Structure 1
Amino acid sequence: MQPDLVIIGSGMGGATLAAALAPTGRRILILERGEHLRPSPQDRDAAAIFGEGTFRSDEDWLDGTNTPFNPGNFYNVGGNSKFYGAALIRYRETDFAPVHHRGGQTPGWPISYDDLERDYQAAEQLYAVRGTQSEDPTEPPHSGGYPHAPIPDEADIVDLRARLKAAGLHPSSIPLGVDLAEWLAAGQTTWDGYPNTCGAKMDAETCGLKAALAHPNVELRTGCRVTALQTGTDDQIASIVVECGGSSETIKTPIVVVAAGAVQTAALLLASANDNWHTGLANRSDQVGRNFMNHNCSALLALHPLRRNRAVYQKTLMLNDFYLASDGAPPLGNVQMLGKITGPILAANSKLPAWLAGWIAARSFDFYAMSEDLPNPDSRVALKAGQIKLDWQRSNLDAHEMLVARLKRVLRRAGFPVVLSQSFDRRTPSHQCGTARMGADPKSSVVDTFCRSHDHRNLFIVDASVLPTSAAVNPALTIAALALRAGRHIAETEFAA
């Protein structure tokens, strides 16, 4: 039977949209190229995950110089959220307006924070976020409270919080989607970067898909890779070409939602070019694939040779003291704890011998510094002989270097004489976004404020590709909020009859 709507991708956008639309009773089909993650001995094996790349895809993309590289994305039910750090942070109010950065000015969004607040609130409920509004001076207004109290600091992180306060900072609890007791019952590790096969992380599968699939009108098909979208005589999307189990089939549906992620969504639209759409679908603006953004990120390890860090999960604190412009300084970004770095993780990401990596990791407090990457039309996803080419033109690096330098100074004031840092490169997917930007003007954007394509009325794009700016916090909650907003719009305009 023909579905009423097909969603391509089961990550944060696709799963949340399915949850939003499931109560309508309309037939919803979700197509996922990957399979379910199943429990395995490698689930909590740091050497296998971070050293051997057991769960990473083996695909290669091309960089701007046509050199192959492995991007480190994951293809499975739930998408990249199965491995995420579960930080579910709202964008700040100022992120929706034009902001002057050291590297240039952001264009702003066609909607305001207030337009999205109700959906942020609903997303926090769906993903059972643990948090508090009382600690972070930059926290935007909430129309309701978090569903759960924040995850508690471990003893050594309690001491770290006090040290940071004494150094003049405002440490606050990270809003997190983790059932801590259930996670630790399955293994004494952090959750950051580890696969969620026990259901303790509130990821796209655990929450969004679970809610959607509780309805009999929703179906999930795995191992199905969409290769093209086809248009009809009216230029609307008429059908989907998909490869499942080694065979190709065509699926017809009145509404198509692409939620394959910022790179794969752009690649699919470009690969779907036809005689009427020579540069790809939804691309009359020539913006599909452009404005790719990926946060500028660095890891910092702060240590005192005579003090140990006994934390297991660690990831409960963040700092937004440098997020907004102040005292003549531009916005620099967000700082949050990494999941606890262990010897095998550090050895896998450095050239250190195992004994030294273990010694450092036992004493380090591990931070993640994140700065905004600004939209640039020359930073783009393209196809070269059918292969994805990602020419990432990094921006705003001076601001990121300032953030790292300031954080090092304040950590030394907080009692850590040694602070090591390492920036992340393109092999680490740090919140890819922006390749099908949202906007009010069809000449300069791909989708409208409800994620509907300007060019094809029955096509929606609901993932990180629609983000006009990257801000400087994790995008997962904003993707979920936009999906809920799009779902409400679809229900009201397409399913109302």
Structure 2
Amino acid sequence: MNVQPDVIVIGSGVGGATTARRLAENGVNVLMLERGDWVAREDQNWSVASVFFEKRYTAHDTWLDANGAEFRPGIYYNVGGCTKFYGGSMIRFRERDFNALTHKEGVAPAWPISYAELEPYYYQAEQMFKVHGDDTDDPSAPWRSQPYPYPGIANEPVVAQMASAMRGQGVRTSALPLAVDYAPTGSCSLCKTCDGFPCKLGAKLDAETAQVLPGLATGKITLQTNARVQRLLLSDDGARVSGVEVEIDGTLQTLTAKLVVVACGAVNSAALLLRSACPAAPKGVANRSDVVGRHYMAHNQTALMGLSFRENTTTFQKTLAMNEFYFGAPDYPYPLGHAQMLGKLQGGMLSANVPFLPKAVGVSMARHSIDWIVFSEDLPDPDNRVLIKNGKVQLDIRRNNLAPHKELVKRMARLLRASGYPVVLTKPLIKHSTSHQCGTVRFGHDPKTSALDAYCRSHDHANLFVIDASFMPSSAAVNPALTIAAQALRAADHILMRDFSIAVDNANLLSTAGAGHE
């Protein structure tokens, strides 16, 4: 390649793309390496058959589970990473999520940074992703220095009835924060195809639309697709990453830059560091602490489908969140978690995921259903880990902290029944789960117990950063995307100042960090 960048960013998901854009907008030359290619805007984007039956966009990887059995993970390799297929939820972690938090089965550890340190970057990320929200009635909402950039998306009648019925039971709901281009000049049509689908209109603000495209517009980013990084190379003394070995068009090349940012996702970032083991780093790059690949987390998740005789005519259903039990309840002292509405389920989606369900039955059920998903925090366990076994990724994990999750599901089902949906079907989504993956290259102050410092710089190698959900020491109970983006902005500002002597003018924004906080 005829490119000599200042920084190589490996991966174009939310962490890598946000970092690259921030650096490029401040004059730094960035080479972004993406394992996949662009997701074409085509009719199949919104096709249930293409997305859920044929798995047109899902990677053709084969991984191993804890027992060594092969499975095909729900992972995506393309520009924008997995956010091309997320539901657009952009939620801040709660302020208490950054402190040590006692759960029924253990303690979620404190972070090396506070909510206050990340708060101004949360707001910047919300601006970049055009987040619509209103947390007035959210009892768990953290303080904010600025209001949401856009108001919450209004509930359609059936959803509004659900919110009213829940209020009648003493449970508050609020607008689900969403990253969609819904404004008088926006392109979002509020359709049924957010969750699991790529957006044919480019109206969902994902890592491609919100970060990669604006970054490329600076002229400072070179994007190389279909580039599979094999390993990182170290200097003889192991103090620095001296090269990135990448396969492009069947040819291995070694690329160099002043800094290297790994942003492949919690599983693949850990796998890359482990694959890069060498005499200078026998346990893997950035792994003197032996934490790389450990503490894998991916929320305990269950979908709930409430059925009634009434037809649900809602088109855009994903507008409501419920955090009444986020930190527990008067009769339950431990955190339970978060609930949010799913995009409206369609018949073919049910048939694809429920074996032997006749399509006609699935279509009928979907017409009469209201659809939710609940998340509960799983805890970081050093024995839940990503490994390399016979050249393949292995997810050697066992679920924990399930009792609070089952309690949350029970309470949510009870709320649905009392709201006019007498039949409630539940489907756990924890087997081979890779959505909301995090924790495998955790950050912290102590090099003995963490791989990265508070700015996601490797303790072991001065020019290496890992900026994706890998850095998280705990998972909280909400979607991690906004927190990844906020920390990426914070880390990028640190890089600009520390490594390139470029001062970013955040003075006005930073001065508001504590405003309104009591």
Q: Which amino acid aligns with 1:131?
A: G
Match of 1:215 in 2: 218
Instruction: Quote the residue 2:151 is aligned against.
Output: 149
- The normalised TM-score by structure 1 is 0.97
Asked if 1:231 corresponds to 2:234, the answer is yes
Partner of 1:278: 282
1:381 counterpart residue number: 386
- For 1:250, what is the secondary structure of its paired residue? strand
Q: CA deviation at 1:219?
A: 1.0
Q: Give the C-alpha shift of residue 412 in structure 1.
A: 1.5
Alignment match, 1:340: 344
2:449 equivalent to 1:447? no
| Percent of residue pairs identical | 46
On the 8 A contact 1:74/1:80 being kept in 2, the answer is: yes
Is the CA contact (8 Å cut-off) linking 2:188 and 2:201 kept in structure 1? no
Distance 2:312 2:499 in 1: 54
Aligned to 2:67: 65
Match of 2:199 in 1: 196
Instruction: For residues 275-299 of structure 1, give each alpha carbon's deviation from its aligned partner in whole angstroms, at most 9, with x where no partner exists.
Output: 1111100000000000000111001
Please name the residue that 1:437 is paired with: 442
Alpha-carbon shift at residue 413 of structure 1 (Å): 1.7
Separation (CA, whole Å) in 1 of partners of 2:193 and 2:223: 30
Distance 1:467 1:127, change over 3 A: same
Matched, 1:22 2:27: no
Deviation, 1:138, is 1.2
Aligned counterparts of 1:276 and 1:6: Cα–Cα separation in 2: 22
Q: Which deviates the most, 444-453 or 422-431?
A: 422-431
Give me the whole-angstrom Cα distance separating, in 2, the residues matched to 1:425 and 1:368: 12
Secondary structure of the corresponding residue to residue 135 of structure 2: coil
Please tell me whether the aligned partners of residues 183 and 191 of structure 1 are also in contact (alpha carbons under 8 angstroms).
no
Partner amino acid for 2:378?
D
| SS in structure 1 of the partner of residue 24 of structure 2 | helix
SS in 2 for 1:144: coil
State the partner residue of 2:400: 395
Task: Measure, in 2, the Cα distance between the counterparts of 1:75 and 1:11.
Answer: 9
Residue 4 of structure 2 aligns with which residue? 2
Q: Which moved more, 1:150-159 or 1:8-17?
A: 150-159
Gaps of 5+ in 1: none
Q: Which residue of 2 aligns with 1:206?
A: 209
1:488 pairs with one of 481, 490, 493? 493
Q: Which one-letter code corresponds to 1:363 in the other structure?
A: H
What are the Cα deviations for residues 64-118 of structure 1, in whole angstroms up to 9, with x where unaligned?
Answer: 1100001110000000000000100000011011111112111111111111101
Q: Which amino acid aligns with 1:332?
A: L
Offset of residue 180 of structure 1 = 4.1
Residue 465 of structure 2 aligns to a residue in which SS?
strand
Give 3-state SS (helix, strand or coil) of 1:344's partner: helix
Write the mapping of 1:224-263 to structure 2, written as runs, cut at 5 A: 224-235=227-238, 236-263=240-267
SS in 2 for 1:388: strand
Q: Deviations over 1:36-70 (max 9, x none)?
A: 01122311111221122111111110001100001
Deviation sequence 1:219-242 (CA, Å, 0-9, x none): 111110110100012421001000
1:381 partner SS: strand
How far apart in 1 are the matches of 2:39 and 2:30?
A: 22
Partner Cα separation in structure 2 for residue 89 and residue 8 of structure 1: 25
Structure 1 residue 43 corresponds to structure 2 residue 42:
no
Equivalenced residue count is 495
Once the two structures are TM-superposed, the CA of residue 329 in structure 1 deviates from its matched residue by 2.5
- Alpha carbon RMSD of aligned pairs, Å? 1.3
Question: Are 1:470 and 2:475 counterparts?
Answer: yes
User: In structure 1, the residue corresponding to 2:382 is in which secondary structure?
Assistant: coil
Alpha-carbon separation, structure 2, partners of 1:261 and 1:183:
29
Aligned pair in 2 of structure 1 residues 480, 188: CA closer, same or farther (>3 Å)?
A: closer
2:354 counterpart residue number: 350
Q: Distance in 2 between matches of 1:216 and 1:234?
A: 35
The alignment partner of 1:13 has SS state of helix
SS in 2 for 1:268: helix
1:171-190 equivalence runs, <5 A: 171-180=173-182, 185=189, 188-190=191-193
Distance (Å, rounded) in 1 between the aligned partners of 2:425 and 2:313: 19
Q: Is the 8 A contact 2:439 2:473 kept in 1?
A: yes
Report deviation, 1:184: 5.6
Determine the structure 1 residue equivalent to 2:299.
295
Letter in 2 for 1:447: L
What amino acid is the match of 1:337?
M
Shift of 1:313: 2.1
| TM-score, normalising length: structure 2 | 0.93
Q: CA 1:46/1:156 → structure 2, altered by over 3 Å: closer, same or farther?
A: same
Greater mean alpha carbon deviation, residues 191-200 or residues 65-74: 191-200
8 Å CA contact retained: 1:464, 1:475: yes
Partner of 2:411: 406
- How far, CA to CA, are the matches of 1:485 and 1:87 in structure 2? 21
Distance 2:429 2:344 in 1: 17
Read off the aligned partner of 2:482 and give its amino acid letter: L
Deviations along 1:306-328, one digit per CA (max 9) or x if unpaired, are: 21111112000010011013324
State how far apart, in whole Å, the 2-side matches of 1:310 and 1:51 are. 24
Name the CA distance, whole Å, in 2 between partners of 1:71 and 1:164.
36
Which whole-Å CA distance do the structure 2 matches of 1:420 and 1:54 have between them? Answer: 28
Distance 1:402 1:183 in 2: 40
